[in-house]
């Protein structure tokens, strides 16, 4: 049993509690959180460590949406416009895959861990990331992806998906959780999506899907027109939208799905997501680099949809550091009150991410998994209400990382 004491403890519960001169007592689970002197008096057998000045303890961060298999991208893919980017992904997918190996993915995972992220939601398109994800110290929710719009290829694509999913399922553990991702409404045939989601419900695994990432996706699904129409002909010369946005969401009944981006989602679609108990993965830098505009986070909150935070892959970002992502979000959402925004982002990256991935993590409270990080600020803010903001502005990595109570 360890007892770590710090200047500040960020509980990351619903009320976003902050304890000054606090501590966390834990083994593999959190035993108690509270005032430092009270914990010292109560847990006399604990191995005690007092962190240095300006220290912060908080739950390990959760990056809810990342594509590790695209980690080789630096300047291969075209940024600036969603359709140009998507064309470049299709053209360079094989090249990027061949430049990425297990070693690169293992290094990427190690960098993610050092930043203070203890859990990721990883979208796996090919299976190249399977072994490194299983071996990693990180908790990985491993979303095996199903994709393909050509009706003639459904059987082959479904067989390939099933092989990848059941391979991952064999490796399920206390830190590796197989899950299922339907790529998007424009790229995945509803029959394929339905079959994959039947497996998700039968196996009781988490689900995710890209949804309403760009205006051209909106236009294509709503009326079969726009910049996406020409692109879709390459996959099927007679292609039409395969479902409406609403029909696509309805495929996910009885799941609590993590919908990624949703920057173009309409109010009634947000209501469907909220009604299903779903969440949104917000990836502000990916949205900025693909020219798809910022998510209206005040509106998603108004509709009762839980907000989580993701970096997306290096296919649409310059780093997989969730602190960089939070800083970008601070500069993106200039219409939001700043201190409230900082607290929302830290909750998105902890408690909300854990809820969306159905994990007993993301909060420093008795009974939760002891996934804990220690941070060091250059200076403590004079006004404690500025602490969440200062943490986001001044942090790039964790000083110490515990996963399931084990130091990493
Ligand atoms: C397909 O595989 O059919 C597809 C992939 C990406 C975008 C659209 C369609
Ligand atoms: Fe993505």
Domain range summary for the chain, segments of one domain joined by +: 2-59+362-407, 61-356
Mean pLDDT for the stretch of residues 311-321: 98
Q: What is the pLDDT of residue 66?
A: 99
Q: What is the pLDDT of residue 238?
A: 80
Q: Is 45 in contact with 78 (CB distance < 8 Å)?
A: no
- Which of ligand 1's atoms lies nearest the C-alpha of 150? 3
Mean pLDDT for the stretch of residues 113-128: 98
Share of the chain above pLDDT 70, in %: 100
Instruction: Please give the angle made by the CA atoms of 100, 104 and 108, to the nearest 5 degrees.
Output: 120
Q: Which of 102, 26, 91, 103 is nearest to 57 (CA)?
A: 26
Residue 203: pLDDT band (50, 70, 90) is very high
The answer, yes or no, to whether residue 235 has pLDDT greater than 90, is no
Mean pLDDT for the stretch of residues 168-183: 98
Mean pLDDT for the stretch of residues 34-40: 98
In the block, residue with structure tokens 């700043």: 338
Residue of minimum CA distance from atom 7 in ligand 1: 187
Q: What is the pLDDT of residue 237?
A: 78
pLDDT of 387-403, one tens digit each? 999 999 999 999 999 99
Residue 213 a catalytic site member? yes
Mean pLDDT for the stretch of residues 363-369: 99
Instruction: Please give the angle made by the CA atoms of 163, 166 and 170, to the nearest 5 degrees.
Output: 135
**What's the pTM?**
0.98
Q: What is the pLDDT of residue 104?
A: 98
Give the chain's mean pLDDT.
98
Q: What is the pLDDT of residue 239?
A: 87
* Cα dihedral 290, 293, 298, 300 sign: negative
The answer, yes or no, to whether residue 309 has pLDDT greater than 90, is yes
Strand partners, 182: 146, 209
Domain with residues 61-356, CATH architecture: Alpha-Beta Barrel (3.20)
Q: What is the domain class of 2-59+362-407 according to CATH?
A: mainly beta
Share of the chain above pLDDT 90, in %: 98
Query: Catalytic pick from 69, 213, 217, 325?
Result: 213
β 207-211/258-261 pair status: parallel
Mean pLDDT for the stretch of residues 159-176: 98
- Ligand 2 centroid–CA 79 distance in Å is 14
Site to substitute for ligand 1 among 147, 216, 237, most atoms within 8 A of C-beta: 147
Q: What is the pLDDT of residue 399?
A: 98
- Ligand 2 centroid–CA 121 distance in Å is 10
Residues near 247 by Cβ (< 8 Å), separated by ≥ 6?
A: 190
Q: What is the pLDDT of residue 404?
A: 98
- Cβ of 231 below 6 Å from ligand 1: no
Site to substitute for ligand 1 among 83, 88, 90, 161, most atoms within 8 A of C-beta: 90
Mean pLDDT for the stretch of residues 189-217: 98
- Ligand 2 centroid–CA 151 distance in Å is 23
The answer, yes or no, to whether residue 114 has pLDDT greater than 90, is yes
Mean pLDDT for the stretch of residues 270-298: 98
Task: Give the number of whichever ligand sits closest to the CA of residue 230.
Answer: 1
């Amino acid at each position: 049993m360890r007892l770590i004491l710090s200047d500040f403890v960020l509980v990351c519960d619903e009320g976003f509690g902050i304890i000054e001169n606090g501590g966390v007592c834990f083994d593999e689970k959190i035993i108690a959180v509270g005032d430092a002197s009270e914990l010292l008096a109560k847990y006399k057998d604990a191995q005690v460590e007092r962190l240095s000045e300006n220290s912060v303890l908080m739950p390990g961060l959760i990056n809810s949406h990342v594509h590790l298999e695209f980690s080789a991208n630096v300047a291969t893919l075209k940024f600036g416009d969603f359709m140009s980017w998507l064309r470049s992904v299709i053209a360079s997918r094989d090249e990027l895959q061949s430049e990425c190996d297990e070693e690169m993915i293992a290094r990427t995972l190690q960098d993610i861990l050092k930043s203070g992220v203890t859990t990721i939601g990883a979208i796996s398109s090919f299976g190249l990331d399977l072994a490194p994800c299983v071996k990693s110290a990180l908790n990985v929710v491993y979303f095996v992806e199903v994709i393909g719009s050509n009706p003639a290829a459904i059987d082959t694509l479904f067989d390939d998906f099933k092989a990848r999913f059941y391979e991952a399922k064999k490796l399920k553990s206390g830190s590796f959780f197989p899950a299922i991702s339907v790529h998007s409404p424009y790229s995945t045939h509803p029959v394929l999506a339905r079959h994959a989601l039947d497996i998700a419900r039968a196996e009781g695994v988490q689900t995710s899907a890209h949804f309403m990432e760009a205006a051209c996706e909106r236009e294509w699904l709503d009326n079969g027109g726009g910049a996406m129409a020409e692109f879709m002909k390459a996959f099927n010369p007679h292609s039409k939208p395969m479902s409406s946005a609403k029909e696509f969401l309805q495929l996910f009944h009885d799941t609590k799905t993590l919908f990624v981006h949703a920057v173009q989602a309409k109010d009634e679609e947000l209501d469907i997501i909220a009604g299903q108990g779903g969440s949104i993965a917000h990836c502000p830098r990916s949205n900025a680099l693909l020219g798809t505009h910022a998510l209206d986070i005040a509106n998603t909150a108004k509709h009762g949809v839980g907000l989580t935070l993701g970096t997306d892959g290096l296919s649409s970002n310059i780093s997989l550091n969730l602190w960089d992502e939070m800083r970008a979000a601070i500069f993106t959402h200039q219409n939001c009150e700043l201190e409230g925004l900082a607290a929302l982002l830290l909750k998105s990256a902890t408690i909300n991410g854990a809820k969306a991935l159905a994990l007993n993590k993301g909060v420093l409270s008795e009974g939760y998994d002891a996934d804990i990080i220690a941070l060091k600020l250059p200076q403590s803010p004079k006004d404690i209400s500025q602490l969440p903001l200062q943490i986001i502005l001044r942090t790039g990595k964790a000083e110490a990382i515990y996963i399931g109570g084990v130091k990493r």
